[in-house]
Amino acid sequence: MSTSTKSRNAPTGPSPFAIEAAALPVEKFSDPEITARGEPRAHVPLFRLETLWFNTGTLCNLACASCYIESSPTNDALVYIAAKDVSRFLDEIASEGMATREIGFTGGEPFMNPDMLAMLEDTLDRGFEALVLTNAMKPMRRHEAALVALREKHGDRLTLRVSLDHHTQTVHEAERGPRSWDAAMEGLRWLSREGFSLAVAGRLLPGEGEAEARQHYAALFEREGIRVDAQNPLRLVLFPEMDESKDIAEITTACWSILDKSPSEVMCATSRMVVHRKGEAAPRVAACTLIPYDPGFDMGADLKEASREISLNHPHCARFCVLGGASCSA
């Protein structure tokens, strides 16, 4: 995996969202079948492919303090995915009769990919819902006219989810760099004025409660004229933090009953992500949006091959999905 190079506007200090925990013991998450304590590791079957994600590439106009995928203006560990490859996977959904409802696009910054509008149009024309994760800054704003045309044609089947890491400019820019707040807010206001189906992705500071954060986001949205319901968890998504270097419990088969959870509730039960790793001849399918580089989570060259069950053998499986209860999908 390539490492990111900081942009000139990158934050200079540590992430304000940094997890305070001991280092992850090396014996944890080392065996796909057995935990460090010798217990059977939990697995998740694919119940249905409800959401297929495409990583558009790791290049981004920002270099955040704690980007889990290390996106930056120079990191092309995941190269731009091409419209023809997206089309091939959408064809497979149709030929295999998969009950896929939603196609998601994430990055990097998706609107830096030169094929982004073509991929969106193909997705929407086939009748899928489309979800785009964006920072709503200059790369997106370059395509205002085309995006308005897509909204006029397809309505609320197109949703844009904007990353606004905190409800305060100080914390947001500590994570995303100076001058990132005003540009993101301008993009959010534009999307709201134009009537797009709109969502926001936020985060919680250590010790900050969800109810408190939602109140502050609500006040911000009202003040700025942004049509997002901060009390709706589908419209304001507050993600748990991730740091694969920090200790976390492993998920065993017994955890489902202990936590009163079902494997069907975990993100990889209903989704996969297509990535094109630098140096590989063609895109491949990864288990989920969170783990694009780990060879243990490479599921194969096509969706049919990628339908097998997944071992929860990564700290993100525990912290984000099972214990955090989060999902990237709408």
> Tens digit of pLDDT for each residue in 61-107?
999 999 999 999 999 999 999 999 999 999 999 999 999 999 999 99
- Cα distances from 250 to residues 253, 267, 295, in angstroms, run 10, 17, 19
Q: Give the burial string for 53-81 (b: 16+ CB within 10 Å, else e).
A: bbbbbbbbbbbbbbbbbbbbbebebbbbb
Give the pLDDT mean for 41-56.
98
Assigned domain for 26 exists: no
Per-residue confidence (pLDDT) for residue 296, from 0 to 100: 96
Per-residue confidence (pLDDT) for residue 282, from 0 to 100: 98
Assigned domain for 7 exists: no
Query: How many domains in the chain?
Result: 1
- Residue 8 pLDDT greater than 70, yes or no: no
- Cα distances from 129 to residues 3, 86, 87, 123, 124, in angstroms, run 33, 15, 15, 8, 6
Radius of gyration over alpha carbons of the chain, in Å?
19
- Structure confidence at residue 221 as a pLDDT band (50, 70, 90): very high
Assigned domain for 288 exists: yes
Q: Alpha-carbon torsion 68, 13, 200, 74, what sign?
A: negative
Sheet holding 284-286, edge to edge: 236-239, 197-203, 158-163, 129-134, 102-106, 51-55, 271-275, 284-286, 298-300
Q: Alpha-carbon torsion 219, 222, 225, 230, what sign?
A: positive
Q: What phi-psi label fits residue 236: left (phi over 0), alpha (psi between -120 and 50 degrees) or beta?
A: beta
- Structure confidence at residue 4 as a pLDDT band (50, 70, 90): very low
Burial class (CB in 10 A: 0-12, 13-18, 19+), 1: middle
Polymer length in residues for the chain:
330
- Please give the model's pTM, rounded to 2 decimal places: 0.95
Assigned domain for 17 exists: no
Residue type at 126 in one-letter notation: R
Assigned domain for 155 exists: yes
Per-residue confidence (pLDDT) for residue 194, from 0 to 100: 98
Contact predicate 320/326, CB 8 Å: yes
Per-residue confidence (pLDDT) for residue 12, from 0 to 100: 82
The β-bridge partners of 132 are: 105, 160
CATH number, domain at 161? 3.20.20.70
Assigned domain for 21 exists: no
Assigned domain for 140 exists: yes
Q: Which domain holds residue 220?
A: 49-322
Per-residue confidence (pLDDT) for residue 330, from 0 to 100: 73
Give the pLDDT mean for 132-157.
98
- Residue 6 pLDDT greater than 60, yes or no: no
Assigned domain for 44 exists: no
Contact predicate 76/57, CB 8 Å: yes
Averaged pLDDT score across all residues of the chain: 95
Pairing state of beta strands 43-44 and 158-163? Answer: unpaired
Residue type at 202 in one-letter notation: G
Angle formed at CA 242 by CA 57 and CA 271, multiple of 5 degrees: 55
